[in-house]
C-alpha cells in the first residue's frame, strides 16, 4: 500500500542496531547529501551536511537561501562541498521538504526502545517544521509514539492494517473474476484460515493451487477449482519453500544461545515456550506470564526477573549479519512477545519441526543434574 500511495519517496529500512542518525544519513544520501556527524547525545546531534554530488550541493544552496543562511564553498564540480553546521533538525527537515519527497521509515520495530523515544521527540519537531513522516512497523499497543511523547497527541494518526477473513475472501473473489476461475467455498475457507491474516501468504497459496490444477492462463468460461487435493498439495509445497527460512532462523537462534553461559538453559526454554504458544497468542501477543509458566514448569530454577532480561535480548538472537530476519520481538511495556512473521504459524502447521533449542534444553538439563 505504501509503495502504491507514495511511489516517489525517501525510503529508509530499519534493521537491528539502526539509530536515528542512521535514518537521517540514509535519507539525505538519497538526495546526494552527506551527513557528517561529529558528536551525538540522547536527544541531539552535531555535525555538518555536505553535498556529495552537484544535485545535493544545489539542494543545500536552495535551502540555505530560503532560511537566510550562508552556504560555504562553491557549487562548481571542482569546488569545496557545500556544508552547513547543524544543531537541530530544521536544516535536515528543509532539505527533505525542498526535495518534494515524503520520508518513509519502514520496519520501525527494529529500533530499540531508546531510539523509538528519540524518534518520538524528533517527530514532534519535524511536524512543527512541516516535514511529515510515514512510519511502517509492528508494535503491540495502539499509539505507541504518543505514549513515548505526549506532545504528539493530535499530530500522529495511527492506521492499524489488519486483513480480516472478509478482506481475504475479497482478494480471492477479485482474483477469481480476473482469471475466470471459481475457488470452491471449502478451498477458500481453508486458505483463509491458513493465511493467518497475511494477504501475501494467501496469494501464494492461491497461485500454487492453480499450479497444482495445471492452470496457467485465463480460463474462459469459468473453471471450477474444487479439488481439495490441489490445495493440500499447494500448502505442503509452500511450507516446503519456507523450510530453508525457518531452518536458518533456528540455526541463528541456537548459535546465539550457545554463546550465552547459562546452566538453566533459560534462553532455550524461553524460545521453546514462545514458538510453541498457540495461534491466538501469536496473533495477539504472548504474555510473559505464559512464557514463565511454561519455562518454569520445565526448569524450576528459572526466575521471572531473569526471564524478562532474556526476553529483552531475543531480537539479537534472531537477526542475520545485516540485522534483518526478525520473527518475534519483545514489547517491554506490554510485557509480551509479538509475532512479526505470521508465516511461522502456517509453516509449523504443515511441517513437523525439531527446533535446535530442544537439543540445547536437553544439554542444559544434563549439566544441571
Starting at the edge strand that comes first in sequence, how are the strands of the sheet with 9-13 ordered? 9-13, 102-106, 133-135
Residue 262 grid coordinates: 547459562
pLDDT tens, residue by residue, 295-322: 999 999 899 999 999 999 999 899 888 8
Q: Which domain holds residue 197?
A: 165-226
- Structural domain includes residue 336: yes
Residues 131 and 16 in one domain: yes
Q: Which helix (H) or strand (E) holds 310?
A: helix 304-311
- The stretch 174-185 carries a mean pLDDT of 94
Last residue of a domain, one of 126, 152, 178: 152
pTM (two decimals)? 0.79
Question: Are 61 and 191 within one domain?
Answer: no
Question: Cα separation of 324 and 109, whole Å?
Answer: 11
What average pLDDT does range 102-116 have in this prediction?
Answer: 92
Q: Is residue 287 part of a domain?
A: yes
Indicate the SS3 state at residue 359. Answer: helix
Q: In this model, does residue 359 exceed pLDDT 60? A: yes
Longest dimension (CA), the chain: 74
All three cell numbers of 250, joined, read: 533456528
Quick check: is 160 in a domain?
A: no
Asked whether residue 209 carries a pLDDT value surpassing 90, the answer given is yes
Residue pair 40/13 in contact (Cβ under 8 Å)? The answer is no
- Residue 48's pLDDT is 63
475466470: which residue's cell? 180
Task: Say if residue 11 is in the same domain as residue 120.
Answer: yes
pLDDT of residue 42: 56
Mean pLDDT check: name the lowest of 27-31, 46-50, 341-345, 358-362: 46-50
What is residue 72's predicted lDDT score, i.e. its pLDDT? 45
pLDDT: which is higher, 55 or 145:
145
Q: Residue 10 has what pLDDT?
A: 95
Range of lowest pLDDT (37-51, 149-163, 290-304, 344-358): 37-51
> Are 36 and 87 members of one domain?
yes
* 233/172 Cα distance (integer angstroms): 18
Q: Residue 80's pLDDT is what?
A: 33
User: What torsion do the CA atoms of 49, 52, 54, 58 make, to the nearest 10 degrees?
Assistant: -10
Mean pLDDT of the chain: 86
Domain count, the chain: 3
Domain membership flag for residue 231 = no
Residue 235: phi, psi to the nearest 5?
Answer: -60, -45
Span of 11-15, 106-110, 260-264 with lowest mean pLDDT? 260-264
250 shares its domain with 141? no
Nearest to 270 by CA among 252, 258, 288: 288
pLDDT, residue 214, reads 94
Q: Is residue 42 assigned to a domain?
A: yes
Residue 280: predicted pLDDT: 94
Does residue 43 have a pLDDT over 60?
A: no
CA nearest 330: which of 273, 278, 279? 273
286: enclosing H helix or E strand: strand 286-287
Residues 94, 175 share a domain? no
Mean pLDDT of 341-345: 94
pLDDT, tens only, 119-156: 999 999 999 999 999 999 988 778 889 999 999 999 99
DSSP state for residue 215 in the 8-state scheme: -
The reply to whether 132 and 250 lie within a common domain is: no
Amino acid at each position: 500500500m505504501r509503495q502504491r500511495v507514495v511511489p516517489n519517496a525517501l525510503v529508509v529500512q530499519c534493521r537491528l542496531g539502526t539509530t536515528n542518525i542512521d535514518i537521517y544519513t540514509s535519507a539525505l544520501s538519497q538526495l546526494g547529501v552527506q551527513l557528517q556527524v561529529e558528536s551525538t547525545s540522547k536527544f541531539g546531534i552535531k555535525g555538518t551536511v555536505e553535498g556529495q554530488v552537484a544535485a545535493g550541493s544545489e539542494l543545500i544552496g536552495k535551502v540555505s537561501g530560503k532560511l537566510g543562511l550562508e552556504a560555504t564553498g562553491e557549487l562548481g564540480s571542482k569546488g569545496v562541498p557545500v556544508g552547513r553546521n547543524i544543531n537541530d533538525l530544521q536544516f535536515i527537515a528543509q532539505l527533505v521538504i525542498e526535495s518534494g519527497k515524503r520520508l518513509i521509515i519502514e520496519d520501525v520495530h527494529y529500533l530499540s526502545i531508546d531510539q523509538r523515544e528519540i524518534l518520538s521527540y524528533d517527530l514532534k519537531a519535524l511536524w512543527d517544521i512541516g516535514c511529515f513522516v510515514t512510519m511502517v512497523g509492528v508494535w503491540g499497543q495502539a499509539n505507541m509514539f504518543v505514549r513515548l511523547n505526549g506532545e504528539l497527541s493530535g499530530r500522529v494518526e495511527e492506521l492499524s492494517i489488519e486483513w480480516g477473513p472478509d478482506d481475504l475472501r475479497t482478494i480471492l473473489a477479485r482474483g477469481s473474476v480476473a482469471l475466470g476461475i471459481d475457488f470452491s467455498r471449502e478451498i477458500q475457507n481453508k486458505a483463509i484460515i491458513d493465511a493467518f491474516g497475511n494477504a501475501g501468504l494467501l496469494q501464494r497459496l492461491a497461485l500454487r493451487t492453480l499450479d497444482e490444477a495445471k492452470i496457467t492462463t485465463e480460463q474462459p468460461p469459468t473453471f471450477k477449482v474444487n479439488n481439495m487435493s490441489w490445495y493440500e498439495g499447494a500448502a505442503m509445497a509452500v511450507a516446503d519453500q519456507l523450510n530453508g527460512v525457518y531452518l536458518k532462523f533456528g540455526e541463528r537462534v541456537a548459535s546465539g544461545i550457545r554463546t550465552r553461559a547459562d546452566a538453566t538453559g533459560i534462553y532455550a526454554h524461553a524460545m521453546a515456550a514462545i514458538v510453541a504458544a498457540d495461534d491466538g497468542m501469536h496473533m495477539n501477543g504472548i504474555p510473559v506470564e505464559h512464557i514463565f509458566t511454561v519455562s518454569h514448569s520445565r526448569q524450576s530454577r528459572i526466575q521471572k526477573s531473569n526471564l524478562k532480561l532474556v526476553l529483552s535480548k531475543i531480537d539479537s538472537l534472531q537477526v542475520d549479519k545485516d540485522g534483518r530476519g526478525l520473527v518475534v520481538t519483545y514489547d517491554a511495556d506490554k510485557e509480551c512477545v509479538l509475532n512479526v512473521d505470521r508465516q511461522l504459524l502456517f509453516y509449523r502447521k504443515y511441517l513437523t519441526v525439531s527446533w535446535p533449542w530442544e537439543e540445547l534444553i536437553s544439554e542444559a538439563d544434563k549439566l544441571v543434574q
